[in-house]
Structure 1
Amino acid sequence: MEMKNQHRSDFGMGQSSLCIERQHIFPPSVIVIGGGISGVAAARALHNASFKVVLLESRDRLGGRIFTDYSFGFPVDMGASWLHGVCNENPLAPLIRRLGLTLYRTSGDNSVIYDHDLQSCALFDVDGCQVPEEIVVGVGELLERILKETEKVRSENIEDMSVLQAVSIVLDRNPELRPKGLAHKVLQWYLCRMEAWFAADMDTISLKCWDQEHVLSGGHGLMVQGYDPVIKALADGLDVRLNHRVTKIVHEPDRVVVTVDGCKKFSADAAVITVPIGVLKANLIEFEPPLPEWKGTAIRDIGVGDENKIALLFDNVFWPNVEFLGLVAGTSYDCSYFLNLHKATGHPVLVCMMAGRCAIDLEKLSDEEAVNFAMEQLKKMMPAAASPVKYLVSRWGSDINSLGCYCFDLIGKPVDLSEKIQRPVDNLFFAGEAASVDHSGSVHGAFTTGILAAQACRRRIFERYSMFNLLHPTVGGAADEVSIPLQISRM
């Protein structure tokens, strides 16, 4: 399948057209590789700046790790689903406002510990007994104290270590902070939630880097209509080629030749590469000449985590009217949590969310086995839970188009990896969430890197070919004025 529209460009395919494409006449040409939000943002900005742009996407759809599924009869995000930072400073806010999309705020807190408010979270033990709210709140405060103490551990040690190891050191030093019984299980649930933020287990996350991210103000907001409208708005009118898997990129100072599926070729002045970090780490694209060692090392050294969702559609709502349901257990691996979409959207859907090793293990199961696992967890909390009428299961780690969800900082690795991943190589420009220096792992971070890559590409072509001042890349218009408020609900 191929997406076609009136703005189709005349990008060359095959050797016969390469001589034509090498003529440096206006408009300059750029190939954008990868149709996630960073790719469509880059393509949109370059298109708006009067560049000739073609976007190559390996999937049969746009969005990348944004995937809004409509098979339930309404939108359900099986990939990215939150706007992290519900504020006008968020670079996606103008577009969300212009599209009239609604955000459901799940938290007013900006930390990586809570993406929900405690008063809208119901935790249960394996016997189906709800954990008293005072224990949930108390353990949350305890975790904050423990994490504060890990700062001392960090300052005392030159060598990096895992967050989990630092927590263990703190608890050994301060026995009064070590919870017991039910409180211990609640603490494990909080650690499970932290692991979801990084899509990785606590024993793999760098103590040096885990809390260095700049989190925007305004808390966390679910996209009620899903992220799909954002992707469609950005891609409108672009020349998009779906089912085009890039296998090789030949880059020279004045041109780039991209090979798709081993045969079809596209040529342009430059390329913007926005494929997921998991794909780059797996060396699924051959670069000729090879990427510099500093770039390859940065790609190898950054971590990539896994998080999956099991969305369950029911006939009726049988669960409490809270935003999250959680099962506490003796280890974070055995804990679970379910997002209640009914509270945000009105649809009777629970989404079981699994990260790190849990997410990896999920992908070893069939869809039916995965749903059975989720239902076993749910029935521990509510023994009378009904069976779902429909379900969806994501598999981001084994998806050849993603090979993971989003990046995180591995233990003992340099702190400037995202900056190096973003840094251009001649006329190759890089974007994506892993290239975001301040907001890796987020949709708005990926979006911003696409805009930055487009701007850097524009500058290089202008400087190299002494072209007249091209239009500045933009993605919005007059309708983006801040006077239009973000639509935020809290049911």
Structure 2
Amino acid sequence: MDLKDSFSDNLLDGTFAPHIGRHRSSTPSVIVIGGGISGIAAARILKNASFKVHVLESRDRIGGRIHTDYSFGCPVDMGASWLHGACNENPLAPLIRHLGLPLYRTSGDNSVLYDHDLESYALFDMDGLQVSQQMVIEVGDVFKKILNETERVRDEHSNDMSVLQAISIVLDRHPELRQEGLSHEVLQWYICRMEAWFAVDADMISLQTWDQEHVLSGGHGLMVQGYHPVIKALANDIDIQLNHRVTKISYGSGKVIVTVEDGRHFVADAVIVTVPLGILKANLIDFEPKFPEWKVSAISDLGMGNENKIALRFHDVFWPNVEFLGIVAPTSYSCGYFLNLHKATGHPVLVYMAAGRFAFDLEKKSNESAVNFVMQQLRKMFPHAPEPTQYLVSRWGTDPNSLGCYSYDAVGKPIDLYDRLRAPLGNLFFAGEAVSVEHQGSVHGAYSAGVMAAKNCRRYLMERLGSLEMIQVMSARDEVLEATVPLQISRI
């Protein structure tokens, strides 16, 4: 259905000011900007509360930074892949249980590698020689000691610094923790995996907050069938208009006017903005009136990281039956990491993952050059590796719809940053993973932020429009999702 058909009372051509008060519907109306999980979650809440809600999405698909590709003949998540916190307390657990989606647990709680334990792996050096399991375990223990010592550094300094700077201080104080030769390369690989968690290099990760995230229990579960079924279920019967790139939002005068790229205008009682932080940083949407300085600085002070994937499908499996393959190197920048989807899904697919500056550098290459580089890395481990039958390359850092993959705490971040970032401006509300202080950068964090923004928006409009009696707080659909069906979690 075209938005023009379903929202004709609020579609304006050209000058809109004379029309604003013409139609007063008894049903509150909300426009959600962005069709990722945060936007769709917000729309779901409002739809279930009998609001008139419409989603404007700039892409030609829903999901945002969730993107399950099916071109391999099997689901491959090129964006978010894990449920971080495979437990019933995860806000996405009811929906995942209801849909019967299986998870493959790749780590338990307190994994030093976050989304992977050291239980199923194979690491190789730059010459293709496999690193002994004993060395990997020993260096891993050293890495834990180094991270523990950085807490002392943090306690001693009132000013924030980067994790890398703190590690340097620790190694100066404790030369016995320094690693040489191959052990040093393994240590760099651990740092590389830490950087992948934050999607940014260690010299940009805040020492004050790197370990302050509230990580849910249950470890980390890979979505075996991909995340798209979750998005599809949430988006059911919601009016979502694709290829609608928003260029301007006028707010604060009773109604909100949203302008899209082709010049059309849409009017509603409120707007929920769920676009990625990278879009807000780049000022790709013109807000009228301009944001106050406290909002601008909040957007500026939060970092936006980058992580990319290169997925390779092969005719047959020629690698060992482990969850991940890694290449150690003299610097974390040069280390490599492959996720073995065959272990979890049964499909002959490897996914190379790169974060931080290296992820941006990969985006400078053509798809073919990027794949050739990754194959060079793979052939260091397996010299006779054949050419892939298919490949996929993500480019989140330069994607005009995201300009990054997820946010991170930059060094020196103000304490009240998240409060300012998610604070509404009249009838303009904000959601997305970036505003989730406890679960930043995660799918369930984005989902929760969307739910919270929708509830705040609903409360605001109920009070302003006096329509409390017609709001249905919960629908039967929401109650169904609370069914106590256990999560399907496996580990082979």
TM-score under structure 1 length normalisation: 0.96
Instruction: Summarize the Cα distance change of 1:330–1:21 in structure 2 as closer, same or farther, 3 Å threshold.
Output: farther
Aligned counterparts of 1:183 and 1:217: Cα–Cα separation in 2: 31
Aligned partner of 2:71 in structure 1 is 71
- Find the counterpart in structure 1 of residue 448 from structure 2: 448
Q: Secondary structure at the match of 1:297?
A: helix
Partner of 1:293: 293
The one-character-per-residue Cα deviations of 1:29-56 (angstroms, maximum 9, x if unpaired) are: 0000000000000011101100001100
What is the CA-CA distance between 1:255 and the residue it aligns to?
Answer: 0.8
Q: Which residue of 1 is the match for residue 13 of structure 2? A: 14
**Contact 2:33 2:271 (C-alpha < 8 Å) held by counterparts:** yes
- 143-152 or 470-479: bigger deviation: 470-479
- Alpha carbons of structure 1 residues 465 and 479: separation in structure 2 relative to 1, 3 Å: closer
Following superposition of structure 1 onto structure 2, how do residues 392-411 of structure 1 map, counting pairs within 5 Å?
Answer: 392-411=392-411
Counterpart residue identity of residue 161, structure 2: M
Distance 1:14 1:101 in 2: 44
Q: What does the per-residue CA deviation read over 1:393-419, in whole Å, with 9 as the maximum and x for residues that have no partner? A: 000000000000111111112133222
Instruction: Say yes or no: does 1:487 pair with 2:488.
Output: yes
Query: How much has 1:467 moved relative to structure 2?
Result: 1.7
Cα RMSD, aligned residues only: 1.8
Note the C-alpha offset of 1:192.
Answer: 0.3
Residue 4 of structure 1 and its aligned partner are, at CA, apart by 8.1
TM-superposed CA distance for 1:97, in Å, is 0.7
Deviation at 1:286, TM superposition (A): 0.3
1: CA distance, partners of 2:481 / 2:177: 49
Deviation at 1:112, TM superposition (A): 5.8
> Are the equivalent residues in 1 in contact too, given 2:338–2:352 (CA < 8 A)?
yes
The answer to which of 4-13 and 294-303 deviates more is 4-13
- 2:123 aligned partner, one-letter code: L
Q: Which amino acid aligns with 1:351?
A: V
The answer for unaligned runs of 5 or more in structure 2 is none
Contact 1:398–1:404, Cα closer than 8 Å, also in 2: yes
Query: TM-score scaled by structure 2?
Result: 0.96
* Aligned counterpart, 1:165: 165
Partners of 1:312 and 1:347 lie apart in 2 by 11
Deviates more, 1:143-152 or 1:408-417: 408-417
Amino acid at match of 1:489: S
Residues 9 and 53 of structure 1 are in contact (CA less than 8 Å); yes or no, is this contact kept in structure 2? Answer: no
Aligned length: 490
Query: 1:198, CA displacement in angstroms?
Result: 0.5
Q: Show the counterpart of 2:176.
A: 176
Deviations 1:196-222 (A, max 9, x none): 000000001111111111000000111
Give me the identity figure in percent. 65
Where in structure 2 are the equivalents of 1:318-357 lying within 5 Å? 318-357=318-357
Q: Is the contact made by 2:38 and 2:432 (CA closer than 8 Å) also made in structure 1?
A: yes
Q: Which residue of 1 aligns with 2:114?
A: 114
User: What is the alpha-carbon distance in structure 2 between the residues aligned to residue 94 and residue 194 of structure 1?
Assistant: 30
Q: Which amino acid aligns with 1:342?
A: H
Distance between the aligned counterparts of 1:169 and 1:357, measured in 2?
23
CA distance in 1: counterparts of 2:194 and 2:319, whole angstroms: 24
Are the equivalent residues in 2 in contact too, given 1:35–1:62 (CA < 8 A)? Answer: yes
Paired residues for 1:217-236 under 5 Å: 217-236=217-236
1:476 offset after TM fit, Å? Answer: 4.4
* CA deviation profile, 1:46-95 (whole Å, cap 9, x unmatched): 01100001100000000000001111111100000100000000000001
CA distance in 2, matches of 1:475, 1:138: 53
What is the deviation of 1:420? 1.5
Could you tell me how far 1:17 is from its partner in structure 2? 7.7
Residues in 2 aligned to 1:376 and 1:89: alpha-carbon distance in whole angstroms: 42
Distance, in Å, in 1 between the alignment partners of 2:135 and 2:372 is: 30
Aligned partners of 2:51, 2:13: CA distance in 1, in Å?
A: 21
Cα distance in 2 for residues equivalent to 1:169 and 1:465: 58
Equivalences for 1:52-451 in 2 at 5 Å? Answer: 52-111=52-111, 113-261=113-261, 263-451=263-451
Q: Which amino acid aligns with 2:83?
A: L
Relative distance call for 1:173 and 1:251 in structure 2 (3 A) is same
